[in-house]
Structure 1
Amino acid sequence: MKNTLIYSDPADPWGWVCGCGRVCGGEVRPVEECGRRRLFLKRCGGEERLEMTSVRAERLTERWRGAWAWKVLWVAMVVLSLASVVLAKKNVSSNTSPLQNQLRSKCPMAFHEIGNKCYFYGYFPLNWFRAAEFCHSFGNGVSLATIETSQENLSIRKWLAVNGNHNTGVWVGGSDNGHSGKWAWFPTGQLVDFSNWGPSQPSGGDQHCMYLVGGLLGYQWADFHCDFDMHFLCEYSVNSVKPWR
């Protein structure tokens, strides 16, 4: 099954487009509605999936990867990552140096191994859409974090309690854009099964992107306006092919 992108908004180069067709058993089934910054439900052989993609992200990925601006930003990210390792003394054994821990890790520099995934913590605030594009710019398989089990949720919360900024939220990959109340993980479209919503969350309305709330709520889930800038969490599986090409 494959999306066919046939819509874009030239007036908004950062606009999102939906897949306006899906190949299902050789048959292309059109989607009734398309628009920018939307997530659409597609039915194919009895299967329901929510999907969204960004043409702009695909176009910019190859153009920016070799740019000097990204190289400078990468160095800054590495410095911030190493600083967080040094400061997070609770996570470092008294007999093991931070460098030794990094060398033993299955994750590259600036990423942190938690369970069977590698995570990158974005210390510089971006809105949800820009954060998703930034994660994708690392390469195939890297996206905003998805939280699928209680153990994974607990591990992330513990790590953020030590390494995160408690004064700001953290974007993750959940969204109900286009179908309010039907939360799914971007970009796979997998519907959210396990959840850890905070009190009175999700609040609905025009708040369609998921983030983890620091401070007293201890990184429980909440929804918020997607255009708001905050920190973010990228991930990829340590068992997958390395994303860098």
Structure 2
Amino acid sequence: MSHGKLIAVFASFGFITTHAGALVGSTAKPVLTYKKCPDGFVRYQDSCYNFYVEQFSWPEAMVFCQALKYSLVTLTSTAQYEFLRSHLATSSGAYPAAGFWTAGTAAELLGDWKWITTGQTIDFEQFNATDPNKGGRYDEKSGCLALSKSMSFKISRQPCKTTQHFICERHDSSKNSRKKSKQVA
């Protein structure tokens, strides 16, 4: 996502914060491959996940993850979705908020639910979730997606300005790439 597009997304939510530009404009170089997950992260297949106790709005959570060179979690398979739900169910006592932000949003175009990280359309049926566009209410066709605590961590549409916990994801590209690169512990 370009910096201009990110700022436009923030503006659409009414969020223009003094720290956003500094976080988005970070000069830190992304790490390409990893031997293990950092402390506090949980590994599942080719990704490492960190479940944050902090509570931010969706745009703030997105920028927070990006500042660390991670991204909000993108659900790519039913197995990954069930892993995350299971992990949250066993550790939810440590998290008082209603849920955890994912990278899902219809913020750019009403009713056009996409993973902001990949641009792919969200297949709600894949995750046995209700498509917000089928609710019939205009206000349900926009927002951001969270894993809702009250629904056993199923996908639910939430207003993007509400504060939730969030999950940052770091992909282990060493599993997916044949390029030689320096391994980082």
TM-score of the alignment, normalized to the shorter chain, above 0.5: yes
Displacement of 1:62 in angstroms is 5.8
Partner of 1:212 in structure 2?
147
Aligned residue for 1:197? Answer: 129
Distance 1:152 1:4, change over 3 A: closer
Residue number in structure 2 paired with 1:122: 52
The amino acid of 1:151's aligned partner reads: A
Q: Does 1:17 align with 2:8?
A: yes
- Report the CA distance between 1:182 and its aligned residue: 1.5
1:182 counterpart = 2:112 = yes
* 1:36 maps to 2:11: yes
Name the % identity. 24
User: Is 1:222 matched with 2:162?
Assistant: no
Count of equivalent residues: 159
| Contact 1:148–1:192, Cα closer than 8 Å, also in 2 | no
1:169 and 1:231 in contact (8 A); partners too: yes
Correspondence for 2:172 = 238
Letter in 2 for 1:212: L
For residue 154 of structure 1, report the CA deviation from its aligned partner. Answer: 0.6
Q: Extract unaligned runs of 5+ from structure 2.
A: 14-18, 29-34, 175-180
1:168 and 2:98 equivalent?
yes
Superposition RMSD on alpha carbons, in Å?
A: 3.4
Task: Give the SS at the match of 1:147.
Answer: coil
Please say if residues 201 and 221 of structure 1, whose CA atoms lie closer than 8 Å, have aligned partners that are also in contact.
no
Q: CA deviation at 1:114?
A: 1.9
Q: Which has the higher helix share?
A: 2
Which AA in structure 1 matches 2:159?
H
Q: Which runs of 5+ in 1 are unaligned?
A: 8-14, 19-34, 39-55, 66-104
Name the counterpart of 1:46.
none
Between 1 and 2, higher relative CO (CA 8 Å, sep ≥ 6) is seen in 2
